[in-house]
A = this chain, B = another copy of it.
């Protein structure tokens, strides 16, 4: 844990419901590390794009990847401003009036300038962590990457210059005078769960599921498995 905090300015200050805003590294990083999927906003010729992608964090840097042919990378290689957002939707909230209908959620918006990773050593390390951050130790068990594969994979890095976390976790919150009304209200929770792993039907001989995948087991919350894997990959 750290007591460090991301700087706050007009870009990342949580304005609406500012009581829900958090800027400390511990909160921001924990929400990022519990996710595999993010959405990245970037701009090309004035047109915003919102692209879903897998990502991971290393210190105050965020990494994601794609083909060097991709629109996003072609335009971010020189350090384009970007915003990477992660959202955990925890519930839908049914209140006693339309206005108080809401959702519980935990989200992070991270701002910085995205650039293509170009230093060969940094690329090689990033390609390893792209797998090992999710499945610690896995790269060492795989068929090594070919030069062509490495060349075809582009890695983007963005230092987090500013970030904010926003959390709502209070369920139903009605106006005091509305609680007496004969209206049904509830919190409808939801969670992303891991299903039964589906081994490749073409596994060779007696290849078994490795022990280091134990964090990913049926019925477990994906975010818990991801957070565990993160702690193993970056102890």
Contact = CB atoms under 8 A, between A and B. Distances in A.
Interface of A: 11, 15-16, 36-37, 39-43, 46-52, 54, 66-67, 69-71, 81-85, 87, 89, 92, 94-99, 101, 103, 105, 107, 109, 111, 127-128, 130-131, 134-135, 138-139, 141-146, 149, 152-153, 171-172, 174, 178-200, 202-205, 207-210, 213, 216, 222
**For the complex of A and B, 9 pairs with smallest distance between CB atoms:** A41-B50, A41-B41, A189-B195, A41-B48, A39-B39, A52-B87, A50-B85, A185-B200, A99-B149
A127 B101 CA distance: 11
Given A50-B41, A149-B98, A191-B192, A198 B184 contact: no
B198 A97 contact: no
B15 A96 contact: no
Given A39-B39, A178-B143, A47 B208 contact: no
B39 A50 contact: yes
Nearest to A96: B143
Nearest to A40: B50
Contacts of A67: 16
A203 B188 CA distance: 15
Given A36-B89, A48-B81, A97 B144 contact: yes
B204 A180 contact: yes
Most buried by B among A134, A190, A210: A190
B209 A39 contact: no
Contacts of A36: 89, 92, 103
Given A16-B67, A98-B142, A52 B105 contact: yes
Given A83-B49, A103-B54, A180-B204, A193 B190 contact: yes
